[in-house]
A = this chain, B = another copy of it.
């Protein structure tokens, strides 16, 4: 199982990096291969100062440990005390142009083992989009691709994982969604290994088709300091979510993961302004009023 999944994940990282470089047109990914004292390692790839991307990272990692960290066991006490192997590809792309949305994607596979007991394994993953300026057709396109990736696996798969995504990427202290959602799934093993793995591949393989057309469409829109300031301000929400709520980030930091690889998801430049208000019905206000509230996009 592990070798099959690992080989898929490494080739997914390769194909995503290749197409992101193509879309960027200027910068290339730089790779850091690293190993971890406690076991495992990864390939961190970062692109910066690009034609489209101010900063982005596409990580592959495969780590093991002697006990699951608390971020992973609080909801599943049966995992406590088990050793684990975790592998995944995780990416975050932060574009220069505020009209191009930030995107995040992740696919992962876990096995938790204990002597004398059956291993517990599961898949997780998904992708979500964080626009600064909303375009209805982009949100529709994003969700259509997500729905298409789910369709072969059952009628209700998209709506279930779309809802999970809305619920997960939510900043409680702001009462605000991080973005316009997408897919989120976790603890997936109910379909057995073959079908679950195939679903994870379907999600992973559909990411570029969901994101790149949006990048292409918006990358040449002109912008000035107003849009740039709004982008830096909204990136603060991204940081708040990742550091306060995101299980993947907390799992990584708690399990002694490689901090620089985990926090490569942080935006390159971010601002916080006290009690910032936006003019009603402005394009900035519209994001919060019309795009972030939970809704059916297709």
**A contacts, CB < 8 Å to B:** 32, 44, 46, 48, 55, 57, 172-174, 232, 236, 239-240, 243-244, 250, 253, 259-260, 262-264, 266-275
Contact = CB atoms under 8 A, between A and B. Distances in A.
Contacts of A262: 173
Contact of A244 (B46, B57, B232, B253): B253
Contacts of A271: 268-270
Q: How many copies does the complex hold?
A: 2
23 contacts: A32-B275, A46-B274, A46-B275, A48-B273, A55-B272, A57-B274, A173-B253, A173-B262, A232-B269, A239-B239, A239-B243, A239-B270, A240-B243, A243-B243, A243-B244, A244-B250, A260-B275, A264-B274, A266-B272, A268-B271, A269-B271, A270-B271, A270-B272
Nearest to A267: B272
A174 B272 contact: no
A244 B253 CA distance: 10
Given A32-B275, A173-B262, 12 more contacts: A44-B274, A172-B253, A173-B259, A174-B259, A236-B266, A240-B243, A240-B263, A244-B244, A244-B250, A267-B272, A268-B272, A269-B270
